[in-house]
Structure 1
Amino acid sequence: MIGRISGILIEKQSPELLIDVNGIGYEVLAPMTTIYKLPALGQSVTLHTQFVVREDAQLLYGFSDKQQRALFRALIKVSGVGPKLALAILSGIEAINFVRSIHDGDTATLVRIPGIGKKTAERLVVEMKDRLKEWQVDSDLPLMAAANPQPAGQEVWVQEAEGALIALGYKPTEAAKAISAIKDPVSSAEDLIRFALKGMLKQ
């Protein structure tokens, strides 16, 4: 099993990354909450990983910390939740906020994440409550807000952001609508994705 990968970030097409490790390029799938924290292309990066083998593919998932990876591992053990949906969950909500939703039985927040309907949200609460009982959260703390970006903008960011949201499970019309609703200044495609996901969670 590949538990960690360190190398040079050479490509980033959210949610897919390409990391050069001594001349070998590893394709890694990462949640947006990890991608937000990545350095610029050409810089060194270290990710905690989970190797998933399917009948038709072998996939490597990368995470910014062990907590995210532990949550991913817990998610894919839930009935009806595979790696793709687990990635969408971790992209749509910060780990600490997801854990809080599970502790509080807050299915209303969970169903705003792409791919999660009412029954899946209820199943997540039931099956994960015991698994996450050691994850302590402060219910009085506000939901974690996105960092303030610097003003800028390019059409290519919109295309990249829409592609990433579609890869995470949103319909093209939903992705376009969420991005067009953003009023905050942005400085990258990741900013657009961050604000779009944040906006859809508030709907």
Structure 2
Amino acid sequence: MLSYLKGDLIEVIDNIPNRIILILEVNCIGYEIQISSRFLQNLVKNKQEKIQVFTHIQIKDENPILYGFATDAERELFRQLINVNGIGARLAIALIETLGLEELVQAIINGNIYILSKTPGVGRKTAERIILELKTKLYQWKQRLGRTLSSSMVISSLEVLEDLEVTLLALGYTNEEISQAISTLNKDNRISKNNTSEEWIREAIIWLNEQ
């Protein structure tokens, strides 16, 4: 119905619990669009005033809700997620918001329950259901997009991740900093193929200290 909207960013309302509303004016009409904090950070970082938002309309209790995404790929991922039994729009956005498109798709394709469970509200059973229903679909979807499967999120040892997280938390790093470190190190082939906790911890601390 509405593929995307392109217009002027008028206002952002972020004082509503669990929601961020973007007011976008298109041809003298103001649209209320619910977006993720990750999308908002992008807008603020790039100081964008005229923007394009890919949209998805959902009818809830007879009231239409307009969701907005930075790219059509992100919107497609959202649509795939809400088709999973038990996954609503709020949880789908939380997954995208927490992990980002590339990391989330890769975690599902590789069956990485640990990474998916980092999202608030996603337990082991929910993560398993997402993987079961979307693993093949997302692999094929990513191939159609022509995206090369990266080596990210290929850690086979859950113990390595657990050791890394416990150690970094004990050293005073936040969950967000730890997630960023893991995501960055996973993109390094030399490190991602190493299943030694000590090496991961050492490299993570080096990276974090450079930020």
For this structure pair, what is the TM-score category when the shorter chain's length is used for normalisation? 0.5 to 0.7
Question: Superposed, which structure 2 residues align to 1:155-170 within 5 Å?
Answer: none
Report if the CA contact (8 A) 2:80-2:134 is conserved: yes
Corresponding residue for 1:128? 134
Corresponding residue for 2:42? 37
Which one has the largest radius of gyration? 2
What is the CA distance between 1:130 and its match in structure 2? 1.6
Residues in 2 aligned to 1:142 and 1:99: alpha-carbon distance in whole angstroms: 10
Look up the equivalent residue of 1:98 and give its one-letter code: L
Question: Superposed, which structure 2 residues align to 1:15-164 within 5 Å?
Answer: 15-38=20-43, 39-40=46-47, 43-134=49-140, 135=142, 136-141=147-152
TM-score, normalization: structure 1? 0.67
What is the CA distance between 1:37 and its match in structure 2? 2.2
Which structure would you say has the larger RCO, counting Cα contacts within 8 Å and 6 or more residues apart?
1
Report if the CA contact (8 A) 1:9-1:40 is conserved: no
Residues in 2 aligned to 1:111 and 1:22: alpha-carbon distance in whole angstroms: 42
Report if the CA contact (8 A) 2:107-2:153 is conserved: no
Look up the equivalent residue of 1:140 and give its one-letter code: S
Deviations 1:75-122 (A, max 9, x none): 010000011111111111111101110111100011110111111000
Structure 2 unaligned residues grouped into runs of 5+? 15-19, 155-171, 183-211
TM-score, normalization: structure 2? 0.64
Residues in 1 aligned to 2:92 and 2:29: alpha-carbon distance in whole angstroms: 27
Identity of aligned residues (%): 30
Could you tell which deviates more after superposition, 9-18 or 85-94? 9-18
Residues in 2 aligned to 1:123 and 1:67: alpha-carbon distance in whole angstroms: 22
Deviations 1:136-172 (A, max 9, x none): 55443479xxxxxxxxxxxxxxxxxxxxxxxxxxxxx
What secondary structure sits across from 1:97 in the alignment? helix
What is the CA distance between 1:32 and its match in structure 2? 2.7
Distance change in 2, residues 1:70/1:12 (3 Å): same
Deviations 1:170-192 (A, max 9, x none): xxxxxxxxxxx778xxxxxxxxx
The alignment covers a number of residue pairs equal to 154
- The structure whose residues are more often helix, as a share, is 2
Residues in 2 aligned to 1:128 and 1:30: alpha-carbon distance in whole angstroms: 23
Residues in 2 aligned to 1:24 and 1:82: alpha-carbon distance in whole angstroms: 28
